[in-house]
Amino acid sequence: MPRRNWRRAGCRRANGCNRVRHDVRELLGAEGPFAREVPGFAPRASQQQMAEAVAEAISERHVLIAEAGTGTGKTFAYLVPAVMSGKRVIVSTGTKTLQDQLFHRDLPRVRQVTGARIKAALLKGRANYLCLYRLDQTYRDGRLSSREQVAQVQALRAWSGRSSSGDRNEIAEVPEDSPLWPRVTSTAENCLGADCPMFNDCFVVKARRAAQEADLVVVNHHLLFADLAIKQEGFGEILPGANAFVLDEAHQIPDLAGQFFSVSFSARQLQELGTDAEAECASVSGAFAVLREPLAAISSVSRRARLALDKLPPRGAFSVIEDDRFVMAELRELQGALRVFEAALESQAERSRGLTALHERAQGLAARLDQVLDGAGREWVHWYELTAHGFTLNATPLDLAPPLRALREQSRAAWILTSATLSVAGEFNHFARQLGLDDPVTLSLASPFDYALQALTYLPRNLPDPSVGDYTDRVVDAALPVLRASRGRAFLLFTSHRALRRAAERLAAQPYPLFVQGTAPRHQLLAGFRSSGNGVLLGAASFWEGVDVAGEALSCVIIDKLPFAAPDDPVLEARLAAIREAGGNPFVQWQIPSAVIALKQGAGRLIRDLGDRGVLVLCDPRLSSRPYGKLFLRSLPASPITREISDVEEFFAS
């Protein structure tokens, strides 16, 4: 893949482009308004360099991949040129938490300091907004399972009259995990759209209108790709047309794009269709008499299909199902029962707006099931996944590059993709290849932190191959002297929940407050860890990224294994097979680069501030015994490496 340095990418409108680049550098410089007006702001050359590159990308509408190490200040580096550009910009973040932080804290500060007079909007997925129609239905229906839910409905009704946004984050009386939320929020399938009697007061409609009128819209990746996928299918567009898209935490994009370009059919979707149909029949006389029998048939066949699937592995390629005649027979029965139910809904569709919408949902579900069962092709990976009480059937594109390339070309916009972890030993080939980027402008900015002084990397001796049965016990044995030296204050990050549970058993008797993923919500675990002062937190996948604990509370990160993707992923297996068939080396071309980026995320939890100090412990002996180990180490920030526990003890003692 050709690689260009952004400074050599010519600016066709030289005067305008150079002026904007000069302006953003001055704004973020030592004599600029950010240095004067923002408490704690430290001018950084890397931040100014990134801001210049973003300004040019927006002006020239090209693709920029910008890896910005922790501490670069990348949020201001893209927000300042975005608000100064005079263009319509969509900024997308990895999580709703970061989205709120960006909109409510960072963006107001940038607008205040720059004096930019732009309209900005925050837009989330519809499940984040109260649906007035479904709240009214739930209240009138009266089928609430507890006094607590009755009180929550009353609180929601009172709040709905005074809220301007309907954003569920505003109301504390209804917990985030309340089972009431799915009943009082809408989905694309059950929304009545313009036919809704409360359409003019709809919070989702208001949020979308604000977004369409805004110069800068803050979204999250889930919403962005859901909308882009819908637009591609020709059903319309939620987000306004933009001159530029800025995607923060862009390392998440390949996985998320795979979700949104997939076709999925689930037992849960079917169950929700049946529940909503029963609720709608309560207000349409005689409808239930027509729908009762096909509804019962759908429910019965769906349960039988789940029971038939129970003997299969929890996740696998669809060929596993096709090889079992009994399972396929049950799924064919389900296919037929869904068509009968769709026909019954069609006969009632004109009797209410809700029944019309339900018929359209049934049509869509039937089409998805048909595609998953009968739409096999070499360019798609068909696979299944089982949950405790349900199942999902999926078809995922084998190669995401073509649809992503088509989206970018259709948008005719600038695309800025940024994260602290996009490269492998300074090269962006793996990330660019997944997204179909043939000739991106690339920029790699090292962290301003002094890792040579602030950090130490420890590779314990005498650990066995990670495949041996007692490997986790040996990792804990290696971690114990480190924890004594650090006095707790550590994250232990694991590549599997099984290893995490075993380590939790071994560490239960240690004299440190123990926080174990799965025993409490993530935010509670982090709050407890921060306040403990000497806690030890054990986490798996979701704790490898997006967790920010600055200061002495976190002084050690211990990682059990190199994070190679699980071999039971049918989509990954198919992609590796395709590389092999094309004459490539899937381990070198895919598995190693993906693991490097994941390791960089985990290691990045350690040093979060200029004053942080800490030890990174990498337990996997393959870092020393295999040739590819050097590639992993070269991809991490350059800190001293030791194999002696005495060096760790001395580091903490100093």
pLDDT single digits (tens) 491-525: 999 999 999 999 999 999 999 999 999 898 888 89
In this predicted structure, the answer to whether residue 235 has a pLDDT above a threshold of 50 is no
- What is the reported pLDDT for 1? 40
pLDDT score recorded for residue 467: 93
Q: Quote the DSSP letter at residue 518.
A: T
Whole-number Å distance between alpha carbons of 474 and 476: 5
Half-sphere exposure of 362 (CA within 13 A, CB side): 31
Mean pLDDT for the chain? 90
Query: Has residue 417 got a pLDDT over 80?
Result: yes
DSSP state of 260: H
What pLDDT is stored for residue 5 in this prediction?
41
Cβ neighbours of 319 (radius 10 Å): 11
d(CA 293, CA 291): 6
pLDDT bin (cut points 50, 70, 90) of residue 230 is: low
Residue entry with tokens 């004594």: 484
Half-sphere exposure of 330 (CA within 13 A, CB side): 16
- Residue 283 pLDDT: 82
Residue 2 has pLDDT above 80, yes or no: no
Higher per-residue confidence, 170 vs 619: 619
Protein fold of 4-119+214-257+400-445: Rossmann fold (3.40.50)
Identify the weakest region by mean pLDDT among 141-150, 174-183, 210-219, 569-578.
141-150
**Contact between residue 262 and residue 397 where contact means Cβ atoms under 8 Å apart:** yes
Return the pLDDT at 261: 87
Residue partners of 293: CB distance under 8 A and separation at least 6: none
Q: Is the pLDDT of residue 6 over 80?
A: no
Bridge partners for 381 per DSSP: 396
Extents of the domains making up the chain: 4-119+214-257+400-445, 126-205, 263-392, 451-653
Average pLDDT over residues 233-257: 82
CA 171, distance to chain mean position in Å, is 24
Query: Which residue in the block uniquely carries the two structure tokens 């995401």?
Result: 400
Complete edge-to-edge strand list for the sheet that includes strand 263-266: 263-266, 391-397, 380-386, 315-317
Helix (H, G, I), strand (E, B) or coil at 44: coil
Does pLDDT of 122 surpass 90? yes
Minimum mean pLDDT among 141-155, 515-529, 545-559, 580-594: which range?
Answer: 141-155
Q: Which pLDDT score is estimated for 233?
A: 54
How large is the greatest C-alpha to C-alpha distance in the chain, in angstroms? 80
- pLDDT score, position 542: 82
Which percentage of the chain shows pLDDT scores above 70? 95
**Res. 90: pLDDT tops 90:** yes
Residue with the two structure tokens 């403990």: 532
Residue 396's SS3 state is strand
Confidence at residue 20, expressed as pLDDT on a 0 to 100 scale: 60
Higher pLDDT, 188 or 535: 535
State the average pLDDT over residues 277-291: 88
pLDDT at position 22 is: 61
CATH assignment of 263-392, given 1.20.140, 3.40.50, 1.20.1440, 3.30.70? 1.20.1440
- Do the two domains 4-119+214-257+400-445 and 263-392 of this chain adopt the same fold? no
The per-residue pLDDT for 354 is 86
- If DSSP codes are grouped into helix, strand and coil, which group holds residue 536? strand
Q: Flag whether pLDDT at 537 surpasses 80.
A: yes
Confirm if 454 and 518 have CB atoms less than 8 A apart: no
d(CA 652, CA 645) in angstroms, rounded, equals 11
The answer to whether residue 193 scores a pLDDT higher than 60 is yes
pTM above 0.85, yes or no: yes
Q: Is the pLDDT of residue 562 over 90?
A: yes
Burial (0-12, 13-18, 19+ Cβ within 10 Å), 326: exposed
- Angstrom CA distances, 621 to 232, 374, 560, 618, stand at 46, 46, 10, 8
Q: Kindly report the backbone phi and psi dihedral angles of residue 515, in degrees, each rounded to the nearest multiple of 5, phi listed first.
A: -125, 115
Highest mean pLDDT among 398-407, 473-482, 561-570: 473-482
CB contact at 8 A, 568 and 313: yes
Mean pLDDT of 79-97: 93
Per-residue confidence (pLDDT) for residue 231, from 0 to 100: 60
Instruction: Report the C-alpha gap between 303 and 560 in whole angstroms.
Output: 40
Q: Which residues pair with 445 in a beta bridge?
A: 68
Tell the burial category of 404 from Cβ atoms under 10 Å away from its Cβ (0-12, 13-18, 19+).
buried
Please tell me what DSSP assigns to residue 483.
H
Rounded to 5 degrees, φ, ψ at 99 are -60, -45
Q: For position 114, what pLDDT does the model report?
A: 92
H/E run at residue 649: helix 645-653
Identify the CA nearest to 267 among candidates 218, 225, 304.
304
Strand 315-317, strand 380-386: pairing: antiparallel
CATH number for the segment(s) 451-653? 3.40.50.300
pLDDT digits (tens, 9 = 90+) for 321-377: 999 999 999 999 999 999 999 999 999 989 988 899 899 999 999 999 999 998 767
Report pLDDT for 8: 29
**Where does the pLDDT of residue 19 fall: very low under 50, low under 70, confident under 90, or very high at 90 and above?**
low
Closest CA to 109 of 80, 70, 71, 78: 80
Give the strand pairing for 490-493 and 216-220: unpaired
Helix (H) or strand (E) holding 376: none
Rounded CA separation 86/116 (Å): 9
Query: How many angstroms separate the CA atoms of 287 and 337, rounded?
Result: 18
